[in-house]
Copies of this chain bind each other. A is one copy, B any other.
Amino acid sequence: VPTTEAETEERITRADAAYHAALDVAPSVRAAWLDAVARSLEHHSPGLVALAARETSLGEDRLRGELRRTAFQLRLLGEEIEAGLNLQATIDHADPEWGMGPRPDIRRANVPLGVVGVFGASNFPFAFSVIGGDSASALAAGCAVVHKIHEGHPELGARVGEIVTSALEAAGAPAGIFSTITGQGAGGTLVDHPFVQAIGFTGSTRAGRMLFDRASRRPTPIPFYGELGSINPVFVAPSAWNSRRSPLIAGYVSSFTLGMGQFCTKPGVLIIPSGPVDDLREAIAEALGGRRWTPMLTPAIRRGYEENLSLVRGMAGVSVLIDGDGAESPSPTVLLASGAVVLDQPEILRTEMFGPATLVVQYEGPEQLLELASLFDGQLTATVHAEADDEVSELLRLIRERSGRLVWNGWPTGVSVTYAQQHGGPYPATTQPGSTSVGTAAIGRFMRPVAYESFPSSLLPPSIQDANPWGIVRRIDGGPLTIDDWKRDSR
């Protein structure tokens, strides 16, 4: 049942009130709220995993791992806000000798933006959905969240929403700090509402761009953190191809078929040295053997998959290496093209086949490899398989310019939640190339800096008071971002 206009309005208004009520809460309390949510998810794991498996056709093992990841992420973000790096607290004491003239006492810290609207993804019903990375990092930042449930898993979305809401309430968070809505109309209201200060979105380029435009056209435009489409090319140097072809093909097949190819980091193009096609077909067919296929996430995704697969397949010079069966649980399709064909039609590299299909491109020599690399639009990831003493500096330069994450001798699927992780990239991979939606740095998206000039310590937020009551990491007078008694082991 779609949320009505009036209900949506009410949830956003309550979220705004809850955000205000929670403004002065210490990071440790907020971290405890996130931990309470994690514990509740773990407690309800069996039922949630079964429900998710039924609605998404993703396997229970994978879903169990994804739920573990989701709980881990909540706790890691909690630890991060307790350390306080997200606040970027910076203190410049007054300095009469400052080079441009006397400097007053200036102190800056990040503050939460307010209500954040989050649009969940269908392909990670836990980790990128209701209480996935966007919601978790917005709550960690101190924002309130209104989440638009994805139509791909409506029952799971509602159930997780209830669990999160109850856990937060039981832990003492203000009512309304997290809520869910359903339906496209409600989603539109969320993007337009004056109380909403930022949007997190994971989904298709088409829907993402439409909502980005909507957010940018508002009387008061707001940041739109959209993670859209990505091809995630994999470049293989002759050295690697000659020395470890078989594990490369096995790894590639595992990576592009993971979750039926419905990963934003799925390797959509494998770029290898030219060579005999029959051997290649045989090796890929062998690697595909013995695997089981499942239905795709939603009818809409299936439709989009068929459309884009047909599009690429129909381009001049593109041939079929392995033909999928088009069943309800479709077996994968592998297309093939030469470097020359792709250079003639770069749009081949710009059409994401979201599902179990991929394209192999055979290149002729190192120059053509670089030419191909230069054709790509913005990407979440780009991967290189080579030896460390190969000449890859120009290739690395080209792909870095186009991607948020570079992988060496590995596979792009599997994005660990860490301090250094970067899950983002130039448009169309995302609408905000300076941000990440995975890892601790994701919190900063939902904060903004405020400077206090010449304030008495008692009127400052705790983050920048002299006594450092929260014991957080701070930057003092241009020094490093640290605290004197930082103890790595005590965390």
Binding site for B on A (CB under 8 A): 23, 65, 68-69, 72-73, 75-76, 79, 83, 85, 88, 90-92, 98-101, 103-104, 106-108, 111, 113-114, 212-213, 216-217, 220-221, 223, 377-378, 388, 392-393, 396-397, 400-401, 403-410, 416-422, 424, 426-428, 431-434, 436, 440-441, 444-445, 447-456, 458-459, 473, 475, 477-483, 486, 488, 491
Q: Which residues of B contact A410 (CB under 8 A)?
A: 104, 453-454
* A431 contacts B483, C-beta separation under 8 Å: no
Residue in contact with A481 in the complex, picked from B444, B473, B477, CB distance below 8 Å: B473
Residues on B with C-beta less than 8 A from A406 are 450-453, 455
Other than A98-B416, A101-B416, A113-B433, give 12 A-B pairs with Cβ distance below 8 A.
Answer: A68-B101, A72-B100, A88-B441, A100-B417, A108-B422, A212-B216, A403-B450, A405-B450, A406-B451, A407-B454, A410-B453, A481-B481
Q: Are A392 and B459 in touch, CB under 8 angstroms? A: yes
Which of A79, A406, A409, A473 has the most chain B CB atoms inside 10 A of its CB? Answer: A406
Whether the Cβ atoms of B475 and A479 lie closer than 8 Å is no
Which residues of the partner chain B approach A478 to less than 8 Å between Cβ atoms? 79, 83, 419, 440, 488, 491
Per a CB cutoff under 8 Å, which of B100, B418, B456 touches A92? B418
Q: How far is the CA of A455 from the CA of B400 in the complex (A)?
A: 13
Given A388-B458, A397-B23, A486-B479, A65-B101 contact (CB < 8 Å): yes
* CA–CA, A426 and B449, complex, Å: 10
Identify 6 residue pairs between A and B in the complex whose beta-carbon atoms are under 8 Å apart, listed by A's number. Answer: A91-B420, A92-B421, A106-B420, A388-B458, A405-B451, A424-B449
Residues in chain B near residue A424, CB distance under 8 A: 448-449
Closest partner residue, chain B, to A23 (CB atom)? B397
The answer to whether A451 touches B104, judged by C-beta atoms less than 8 angstroms apart, is: no
A380 vs chain B, min Cβ distance (A): 10
CB contacts (< 8 Å) of A444 on chain B: these are: 434
How far in angstroms is the closest Cβ of chain B from A217?
A: 8
User: Which residue in B69, B98, B409 is a CB contact (below 8 Å) of A454?
Assistant: B409
A480-B473 contact, Cβ under 8 Å, with A433-B448, A449-B424: yes
User: Which residue of chain B is the closest to A68 with respect to CB atoms?
Assistant: B100
**A461 nearest CB neighbor, chain B only:** B400
Docked Cα-Cα span, A420 to B477, in Å, equals: 8
Query: For residue A377, which residues in chain B have a CB less than 8 angstroms away from its CB?
Result: 220
Q: For the complex, give the distance between the alpha carbons of A354 and B183 in Å.
A: 45
Docked-complex contact B428 and A100, CB < 8 angstroms: no
Residues on B with beta carbons closer than 8 Å to the beta carbon of A434: 223, 444-445, 447-449
How far is A419 from B475 in the complex, measured between Cα atoms in Å?
A: 9
Residue from the list B101, B400, B450, B458 in contact with A450, Cβ < 8 A: B400
What residues of chain B lie closer than 8 Å to A417, measured between beta carbons? 100
Nearest CB of B to A491, in Å: 7
Q: Is A108 within 8 A of B420, CB to CB?
A: yes
A69 surroundings in chain B (CB, below 8 A): 100-101
By the criterion CB–CB under 8 Å, are A90 and B448 in contact? no
* Interface contact B459-A407, CB-CB below 8 Å: no
Interchain CB contact under 8 A, B481 and A480? yes
CB neighbours of A65 from chain B (8 A)? 101
Q: Report the bound CA distance from A486 to B106 in whole Å.
A: 23
Residue of B whose beta carbon sits closest to that of A436:
B449
Q: Which residue of the partner chain B has the closest CB to A400?
A: B450
Contacts of A73 in B (CB 8 A): 100
In contact, B427 and A221 (Cβ under 8 angstroms): yes
Contacting residues, chain B, for A213 (C-beta < 8 A): 216-217
Known: A85-B481, A449-B422, A451-B421. A106 touches B436 (CB 8 A): no
| Chain B: CB-nearest residue to A453 | B407
The distance in angstroms between the C-alpha atoms of A420 and B388, with both chains bound, is 41
Q: Which residue of chain B has the shortest Cβ distance to A95 in the bound complex?
A: B418
For A103, give the chain B residue with the smallest CB separation.
B416
Chain B positions within 8 Å of A409 at CB level: 454
Minimum distance in angstroms from A128 CB to a CB of chain B: 14
Partner of A422, one of B400, B440, B450, B459: B450
Given contacts A433-B113, A473-B481, contact A422 B451 (CB under 8 A): yes
The docked-state distance in angstroms from the alpha carbon of A423 to that of B392 is 42
Q: Which single member of B221, B449, B459, B482 contacts A441 (CB below 8 Å)?
A: B449
CB distance from A404 to the nearest CB of B (A): 6
Question: Does B107 contact A420, Cβ atoms closer than 8 Å?
Answer: yes
Partner of A427, one of B72, B104, B220, B483: B220
Q: Which residues of B contact A447 (CB under 8 A)?
A: 434
